[in-house]
Amino acid sequence: MKLLVTGGAGFIGSNFVIYMLKQHPEYKIVNVDSLTYAGNLENLKSVEGNPNYSFVKADITDVQAMDALFSQGVDVVVNFAAESHVDRSILEPDVFVKTNVLGTQVLLDAAKKYSVTKFVQVSTDEVYGTLGATGLFTEETPLTPNSPYSASKAGGDLLVRAYHETFGLPVNITRCSNNYGPYQFPEKLIPLMISRALADQALPVYGDGLNIRDWLYVEDHCSAIDLVIHEGVNGEVYNIGGNNERTNVHIVNTVLQELGKPDSLITYVQDRPGHDRRYGIDPTKITNELGWKPKHTFETGIKETIQWYLNNREWWTRIQSGEYQKYAELQYGSR
Ligand code: NAD
Ligand code: TDX
């Protein structure tokens, strides 16, 4: 099987490439990534030199580049490539629409032209908007995105759905909540708080800190996508979540405790505009229909993650200093 992974130099994509090469050593994996600020080839050092892995630097919005790639033969596409950070989408929505909507449509066209056997769109529960104190997101929850990021992801999802309905493209959409684990860019809550706490810097908690996210260890997300590739019923949406709802302040306190740092580092700052209050996933469908089960509990996953950031300081300090981009520039030229 030949798998085209888009955005494979990012957080989840790189974990997925490493996971799939381990689970399915006979599969060929092509990673296409334009290496934005979030793309880091250093994440993939452990698979460099594997004859079944290759990297192509290209933008998913580039029609010719995607056509050239697909023309070499692709069985399955897993689309991770996206602008992924909500705060950035508030500052510069245009690039979110370009990559997350237009990029998805360019990929869908190529997938249709070259008759791929599966197109998996990796989406997010943020397309469902926000929950109140009770209830969970199911696959039937209406899409009511609140940020430019989630609106652009919803736009991509709707195109994926439309290519199934109109052209019969064999698609699945997966929607999960906040991932955590190795190689997450240190702008996201958990790695940001770890890196700042280690430097004894103030930890900016938005609003009252009581917003809730439903945390999923990245490897459990990868195993769910692997299952969807092989067992997902075409046209279906699958929500992925491990029943790990936590308030943001609980997360920050856990980081402080694990690192032996004082609560006085917590600084409440102005809330994020349009900040969703609560996410919670109902994973009944993927559990009952595909037999998916997460391996990690939040308690073990968060400890392993904090330990990983302690053991890999060089990885995130190189990101903070911009050094990591030099490696890619040397190999593939600057953007
Ligand atoms: P990330 O920002 O770490 O990585 C995104 C990757 O996509 C980067 O390597 C970047 O270089 C690449 N990319 C961006 N624009 C591109 C373009 N135009 N062409 C080619 N490559 C491009 O993101 P992530 O956290 O790994 O998220 C991956 C996917 O999973 C995204 O689609 C995101 O919406 C979704 N998702 C993420 C989470 C989460 O908690 N991180 C949760 C649910 C869903
Ligand atoms: O400095 C901060 N302080 C703070 O209180 C940051 C960066 C975040 N927060 C809060 C905002 C959120 O309630 O922490 C929570 C998590 O924030 P992010 O890490 O920015 O994630 P979130 O906005 O929930 O979105 C993430 O999960 C869903 C990913 O970035 C998305 O790509 C994914 O779709």
Measuring from atom 14 of ligand 1, which residue has the nearest CA? 82
- Interface predicted TM-score (ipTM) of this complex, two decimals: 0.99
Residues in CB range of 70: below 8 A, 6 or more apart: 4, 110, 111, 113, 114, 116
Spatial separation of the C-alpha atoms in residues 325 and 94, rounded to whole Å: 23
Please write the tens of the pLDDT for every residue from 47-104: 999 999 999 999 999 999 999 999 999 999 999 999 999 999 999 999 999 999 999 9
Instruction: State if residue 147 touches ligand 2 by the CB under 6 angstroms criterion.
Output: no
Please write the tens of the pLDDT for every residue from 197-223: 999 999 999 999 999 999 999 999 999
Q: What pTM did the predictor assign?
A: 0.98
**Which residue carries 């109109």 as its tokens?**
166
Please write the tens of the pLDDT for every residue from 22-39: 999 999 999 999 999 999
Q: What is the mean pLDDT of residues 155-184?
A: 98
The answer on pLDDT for 309 being more than 90 is yes
Spatial separation of the C-alpha atoms in residues 300 and 304, rounded to whole Å: 6
315: left (phi over 0), alpha (psi -120 to 50) or beta: alpha
Instruction: State if residue 9 touches ligand 1 by the CB under 6 angstroms criterion.
Output: yes
Q: How confident is the model at residue 324 (pLDDT cuts 50, 70, 90)?
A: confident
> Of the residues 5, 12, 59, 332, which should be mutated to test ligand 1's pocket, given the most ligand atoms within 8 Å of the CB?
12
* pLDDT computed for residue 138 by the predictor: 98
Residues in CB range of 254: below 8 A, 6 or more apart: 302
Q: What 3-state class would DSSP assign to 103?
A: helix
Q: Which of 175-179, 189-193, 274-278, 325-329 has the lowest mean pLDDT?
A: 325-329
Domains in the chain: ranges and CATH: 2-332 (3.40.50.720)
198 vs 326, residue with greater confidence:
198
The answer on pLDDT for 334 being more than 70 is no
The answer on pLDDT for 225 being more than 80 is yes
**207 CA to centre of own chain:** 24
The answer on pLDDT for 328 being more than 90 is no
> Of the residues 213, 256, 279, which should be mutated to test ligand 2's pocket, given the most ligand atoms within 8 Å of the CB?
213
The answer on pLDDT for 335 being more than 80 is no
Alpha helices (runs of H) in the chain, residue ranges in sequence order: 11-23, 63-70, 86-91, 93-97, 104-113, 148-167, 189-198, 218-231, 248-259, 284-290, 298-311, 313-321, 324-332
Structure tokens at 240: 């992925």
- Residue pair 157/123 in contact by the 8 Å Cβ criterion: yes
